[in-house]
Structure 1
Amino acid sequence: MSDAYLQGILAREAVDTGLYSPVRSVQATLTPVISGWAGNKLLSVNPSGSFAKGTANHSGTDIDLFISLSEDTAETLQQIYELLFKKLTAVGYAPKRQNVSINIQVNGYDVDLVPAKRQNSLSSDHSLYRRRANTWTKTNVQTHIATVWAGGRQQESRLIKLWRDQKGLDFPSFYVKKLTAVGYAPKRQNVSINIQVNGYDVDLVPAKRQNSLSSDHSLYRRRANTWTKTNVQTHIATVWAGGRQQESRLIKLWRDQKGLDFPSFYVELAVIEALRNTNHATLSERVLACLIYLRDRLPNARFVDPANTNNVISDDLTPAEKQRISAAAAQAINGTWGQFVK
């Protein structure tokens, strides 16, 4: 696939985003309608999305208009979204509900309208309605625009978005642009996101601190689609106090080489428990004791988070996944050390 071919596609899909672009006439057409709907609560109507970020394609949405409403607006975010939909219908458009926007056709142009309520007068942070999840979220369109321009990957983003549209994929534009801009290939895990950085395997664990008085954090558990409280400093202290770093490293290496789904902190807790109140003289004896524990006791053993006893670590694996670890441990016990790890 040559550069000339891709450049030709970009030229075909070019969108005039200049000050006098014909697409901008859409804003002038819609502003009276939006002003009549919002009244004195309207703060501004401005281009946003792909048009403002330089990543728009002619065959995609032509322009996104971000409708900023005052924080004094009495209606809920869902009510704002639905009232705008009704207003557009009343004046003769055929609106389509999307996730955070409403799509309409104006003078032959494809337009996404994003209604949002400013959070306060001291920032440009806004709250907007997320229809699919039936909830709300905080965002900042200016930050989105600045992030994408700073990434400098407009051409690549436009081609990936064109591919997305032609293949009918549900892949939000800002998601495309953010990943393209930084160039990683993230993989979702249970509480972390895995990426490769300079040849290293990296797990990123996003969390929200619960308050300023402690290091307790809330984090998302994707498999259970819920959240949990934890404390990473407590985890670190627990593992160091257990004093089983060598054995944990070998069991984790075995896990990786055998392709087992066995979260690292779960491994560390299991190793500490397997060697509790034992006195094996050699490293090989201690590792063998760990394997015997995994074979015989792991499937029914209960492990709780030392930072939160309501967080049952052992629930992160299904019974079938635990049985697979047990079976792999049995195989390792009956094999050679060379078959255990390489």
Structure 2
Amino acid sequence: KALGMRVDLIPAYRERGSGCVLFNKKTGGDVHTDLTQHVHLVGNSGRQQEICAVKIWRERNKVDFPSLYLELTVLKALESEPYGQLTHNVGAVLRYIGNRFEQAEVRDPANEDNLVSNDLSAKEKKAVAKAARDALYDENWKKILW
């Protein structure tokens, strides 16, 4: 915590060029990617509110769902959804996670060799999908987000 806020630190170092190397705490290995590209992708997506809402859901429900994986999943789930309809779109994301997440292959847009969906085991993916289905059946937004 810093100044009362939770802060995510990303252990990384810059490579020559525009990329960087991240430390994957689960595998203990290196991940070659481009954080700047990730920031631009999310920042220019028009889906920041939905991403924030799903991150709140993740934290409130203690769901193990790494941020980049979550962000890319939200963007995939909302590919054909309208902009500016937060409630509808969060529901669409939870439905996607509940029904399609476990089988979906998610790759790092900055390095196609990185299979982001491998960051969770089949058991962990099943738990994320179940939490999303449970949230949909609850239908109480205060329980989902607050």
TM-score where L is the length of structure 1? 0.41
1:244-266: per-residue Cα shift (whole Å, max 9, x none)? 00011111001000001111111
1:226 aligns with 2:44: no
1:114-138: per-residue Cα shift (whole Å, max 9, x none)? xxxxxxxxxxxxxxxxxxxxxxxxx
Q: 1:254, 1:201 → 2: CA distance?
A: 16
% same residue = 35
Residues 292, 235 of structure 1: CA spacing in aligned structure 2 closer, same or farther, 3 A cutoff?
A: same
Cα offset for 1:281? Answer: 6.5
2:20 to 201, 204, 217: 217
Task: Give the gaps of 5 or more residues in structure 1.
Answer: 1-195
| Alpha-carbon contact 2:42-2:71 (below 8 Å) kept | yes
Task: Give the gaps of 5 or more residues in structure 2.
Answer: none
Q: Which residue of 1 aligns with 2:49?
A: 246
RCO comparison, higher one (Cα < 8 Å, 6+): 2
Moved over 6 A (4+): none
1:330 aligns with 2:133: yes
RMSD (Å) for aligned C-alpha atoms: 1.4
1:237 to 40, 49, 65: 40
The answer to which structure has the higher strand fraction is: 1
1:279-337: per-residue Cα shift (whole Å, max 9, x none)? 37632111110100000011111111111111111111111111111111111111121
| Alpha-carbon contact 2:24-2:31 (below 8 Å) kept | yes
Aligned residue pair count: 145
1:288 to 87, 91, 103: 91
Larger radius of gyration: 1
1:311 aligns with 2:117: no
Q: Which amino acid aligns with 1:203?
A: D
Q: Which residue of 1 aligns with 2:101?
A: 298
2:69 to 242, 249, 266: 266
| Alpha-carbon contact 2:47-2:83 (below 8 Å) kept | no
Residues 208, 282 of structure 1: CA spacing in aligned structure 2 closer, same or farther, 3 A cutoff?
A: closer
Q: Per the alignment, in what secondary structure is the counterpart of residue 218 of structure 1?
A: strand
TM-score where L is the length of structure 2? 0.92
